[in-house]
Amino acid sequence: MDPRTLQIIREITPAVAEHGETITKVFYDRMFAANPEVRRFFNAAHQHSGGQQRALASAIYAYFQNIDNPAVLGPAVELIVHKHASLGVKPEHYPIVGKHLLDAIAEVMGDAATDEVLAAVGEAYAFLADLMIAEEQKLYAQQAAAPGGWAGKRTFAVDRVVEESDVVCSFYLKPADGGATPEFLPGQYLTLHLDHPTTPTSPRNYSLSDRPGQDHLRISVKREPNLSPEAPAGLISNQLHDGVRAGDTLEIGPPCGTFTLDPATRDSATGDERPVVLLAGGIGVTPLLSMAKAWVARGVKAPLYLLQADRNARTRAFADEIAALAEGNDHITTRVRYSEPIDGDLDEPGADAGFVDRDLLSEWAPCDEADFYLCGPAAFMRSVAGELAALGVPAERVHYEFFGPKAEIAPATAGCPFAA
């Protein structure tokens, strides 16, 4: 970029930080009014909650703050590239975003948004857009060329539906064309393109909850209770629970996601014997269970710890699968912590009551050496991440996935304009 552009971006970064959420709110309002065709990329519940606006504001600030060295945002860019690929974002969508972002900045910043400032922001945006487009095209090509892979949508048949708890159902999926089932990295997700019968909805990402290398793919979906028109969380989860049965077909996007644990990198051949701790809150167990099952299938002998936090046995999914992980595997330790236990819950081996707090983590997990993988609701994520930091676990050993705009837990490193 032109040196003058870099200087201008540095100068306006404090103002962008101050007005970031106002800018992004105006941006989305303007874009949806002028280009309603892109609304299908966006989850209305995340828009209503403000999470998507905060995520985009964080992303803009992070980019401007690191404008002299955007390479430090590499992990965040990779995450966004996978998110965009999961949604089917194409090069022609970037000019739409750029136009309305510049217009929003001009509207909110008023006289401070001079022609020179807007030109600099436009150049910075074009630089990042070109980078993202190139990376997304690479990913699309990789997905299409992978064994059993594809780009865009592919039709899968529902082989069976299994109730895992009072609130979680698993859907076992097989290619409707009889072709190969794709490989994936444990922790990745599929994108489900399912139209609600009465309300336009965006595609939905669901973590793969079983290990790779089988004749099926499995997603496990929690029924979300909120069905209000103003914040329509739960539309697709309820539709899946109530309306999708064995024999139905679904349109699926290829596996995506950067929150992964490849057991091939941790087996005896690599000499990496560091322990791994998986901390799951509620339905956040899905990508972590895929990791744990792949770990066992690969025969990795490094220590693995899996803690599942849930309300009680009625809402907890996969109890039997998780118990089976440790059978005959002395290097695998599992535990469950119930926040609202019911009769019989505390009689389970390895079960107790409470939350995932500092005392539990310091007593149970090898905090001085382990890599931690976290997934669950926002409150769980923030709490556990804070407790690990207080215990001195460095940030580079803490990996996490949040089901929603990631900026809610890491405002300086993530977020994207298109997000499911």
> Which residues have a Cβ under 8 Å from the Cβ of 165 and sit 6 or more positions away?
314, 315, 316, 317
CATH number at residue 283: 3.40.50.80
363 domain-assigned: yes
- 273 catalytic, yes or no? no
Residue ending a domain, choose from 256, 288, 306 = 256
Residue 136 bears catalytic tag: yes
What value does the mean pLDDT take over residues 67-80?
A: 86
Residues 126 and 8 in one domain: yes
Q: pLDDT, tens digit, for every residue of 357-370?
A: 999 999 999 999 99
**Residue 69: per-residue pLDDT:** 86
Longest dimension (CA), the chain: 69
* Same domain flag for 241 and 267: no
Q: What percent of the chain has pLDDT over 90?
A: 73
Given a cut of 90, is residue 42 above it in pLDDT?
no
- Structure-token match 């905060």, residue found: 54
Cβ–Cβ under 8 Å, residues 207 and 291: no
For residue 164, report the phi and psi dihedrals to the nearest 5 degrees: -95, -25
Residue 402, domain member (yes or no) = no
Q: Examine residue 97 and state whether it is found in any structural domain, yes or no.
A: yes
Task: Please check whether residues 212 and 241 belong to one and the same domain.
Answer: yes
Contacts of 186 (CB under 8 A, 6+ apart): 208, 211, 212, 260, 261, 262, 263, 287, 290, 291, 293, 294, 295
Q: Which residues neighbour 340 within 8 Å (Cβ) at sequence distance 6 or greater?
A: 311, 312
410 located within any domain: no
Alpha carbons within 13 angstroms on the beta-carbon side of residue 51 total 21
CA distance 215 to 217: 7
Q: Are residues 159 and 289 in the same domain?
A: no
- Residue 346 pLDDT exceeds 70: yes
Question: 99-119: per-residue pLDDT in tens?
Answer: 999 999 999 999 999 999 999
Interval 258-286 mean pLDDT: 90
Provide the pLDDT confidence category of residue 234 given band limits of 50, 70 and 90: confident
Query: Is the per-residue pLDDT at 375 higher than 90?
Result: yes
The beta-strand segments (E) located in 86-223 are 154-163, 168-175, 189-193, 204-207, 217-222
Helix axes 115-145, 94-109, angle to 10 degrees: 150
Quick check: is 50 in a domain?
Answer: yes
Question: Which tokens is 64 given?
Answer: 């401007």
Residues 194-229 have pLDDT tens digits of 887 766 677 899 999 999 999 999 999 999 886 555
Domain assignment present for residue 413? The answer is: no
- Please report the beta strands in 178-275, taking only residues with DSSP state E, as ranges in sequence order: 189-193, 204-207, 217-222, 249-256
Q: Indicate whether 139 and 159 sit together in one domain.
A: no
Residue 403 lies in a domain: no
- Label the pairing between strands 398-402 and 371-376: parallel
Average pLDDT over residues 374-400: 94
Residue 413, pLDDT above cutoff 50: no
Per-residue pLDDT at 223: 93
Same domain, 134 and 12: yes
Q: Based on the fold, state whether residues 252 and 268 are members of the same structural domain.
A: no
The whole-number pLDDT of residue 227 equals 54
What is the side-by-side strand order in the sheet with 154-163?
A: 204-207, 189-193, 249-256, 154-163, 168-175, 217-222
pLDDT in tens, 135-159: 999 999 999 999 999 989 999 999 9
Helix axes 51-65, 3-34, angle to 10 degrees: 160
Domain end: 112, 127, 145, which one? 145
Catalytic residue among 28, 61, 63, 136: 136
Q: How far apart are CA 136 and CA 116, in angstroms?
A: 30
| 2 backbone dihedrals φ, ψ, rounded to 5° | -60, 140
- HSE of 78 in the Cβ direction (CA atoms, 13 Å)? 9
Q: Which of 94, 125, 305, 338 is catalytic?
A: 94
Domain boundary among 118, 145, 172: 145
Q: For residue 17, is pLDDT > 70?
A: yes
The pLDDT score that the predictor gives to residue 76 is: 84
CATH code for position 248: 2.40.30.10
Residue-level length of the chain:
420
Number of domains in the chain: 3
Strand order in the sheet with 351-353: 351-353, 332-338, 304-310, 276-281, 371-376, 398-402
Average pLDDT over residues 41-67: 81
Looking at the domain assignment, is residue 385 inside a domain? no
Span 289-317, average pLDDT: 96
Are residues 110 and 27 part of one domain? yes
- Band (pLDDT 50/70/90 cuts) for residue 268 is confident
| pLDDT exceeds 60 at position 50 | yes
Of 347, 254, 358, 360, nearest in space to 305 by CA: 360
Q: Are residues 10 and 136 in the same domain?
A: yes
Model pLDDT for residues 160-203, shown as the tens digit of each residue: 999 999 999 999 999 999 999 999 999 999 999 988 776 667 78
The domain containing residue 370 runs over which residues?
A: 263-376
**Tokens 């009625």, located at residue:** 314
H helices of 227-338, in order, are 235-243, 285-298, 319-325
pLDDT of amino acid 39: 85
Q: Assess whether 244 and 359 both reside in one domain.
A: no
- Looking at residue 305, what is its pLDDT? 97
Do 243 and 335 lie in one domain? The reply is no
Regarding whether 112 and 10 lie in a shared domain, the answer is: yes
How confident is the model at residue 49, as a pLDDT?
66
Q: Give yes or no for a contact between 162 and 170, defined as CB atoms under 8 angstroms apart.
A: yes
d(CA 303, CA 325) in angstroms, rounded, equals 12
Six-digit token pair at 183? 């490989």
